[in-house]
Amino acid sequence: MDTNSTLPTNGRATAREGVDGMSSASEIRKPAQLPSRFDVPVSAIGPLFRARLDRIFPCRVDFDLDVNVRATARVLGGYYRSRRLVRLYVHDTEQGRRPLEELFDTFLHEIAHHLEYTEPGSFSARACGRVPGRMHSRVFWKILGELKYRWVCLQS
């Protein structure tokens, strides 16, 4: 399985992937927000997120980024390993434009998948730690934690 989709499962918790029907991880879902009229243009999201990432972790292996305007009800994003493609879905079917910081959160999540495949050694891991049937390895969580930590440090 080389495709990861980011899917909320219910109103309370968010399972980032459900490809195999298992939710090995969950997150607290943010309260619904009205789309901000001050959101950056969709065309600016990709360059903005790449610039943010460069400040916290310059990737050794480049990736493609598709900021997709097709409205989705459940899927927030995905990483396609064979194409090294990160995809973000910016529109919610009911709520409209997803908040920028929620999109960035999804972006970091998918980048963590990219990094777990392309440079696990950068995170003191010998190899990608994927276990068949489980969407998120320990290495994945270590990488995502490090990315989020660096981003938070940059804000303060």
CB closer to Zn ion out of 16 and 130? 16
CA distances from 89 to 40, 119, 130 (A): 15, 25, 25
Residue 135 C-beta: closest distance to Zn ion, Å: 6
- Do 76 and 7 contact (CB within 8 A), yes or no? yes
CB closer to Zn ion out of 10 and 36? 10
- Under rule CB under 5 A, residue 106 binds Zn ion: no
Q: Largest alpha-carbon pair distance within the chain?
A: 45
Fill in the per-residue mask, 14 to 53: x = in contact with Zn ion (CB under 5 A), - = not in contact: --xx------------------------------------
What residue is closest to Zn ion based on CB?
16
CB closer to Zn ion out of 6 and 43? 6
Cα–Cα distance, 118 to 149 (Å, whole number) = 20
Q: Which stretch binds Zn ion (CB under 5 A): 10-18, 37-45, 85-93, 96-104?
A: 10-18
Residue 110 C-beta: closest distance to Zn ion, Å: 7
Per the listing, tokens 């990608």 go with: 128
Cα–Cα distance, 151 to 35 (Å, whole number) = 23
Cα–Cα distance, 71 to 132 (Å, whole number) = 30
- Binding residues vs Zn ion (CB under 5 A): 4, 16-17
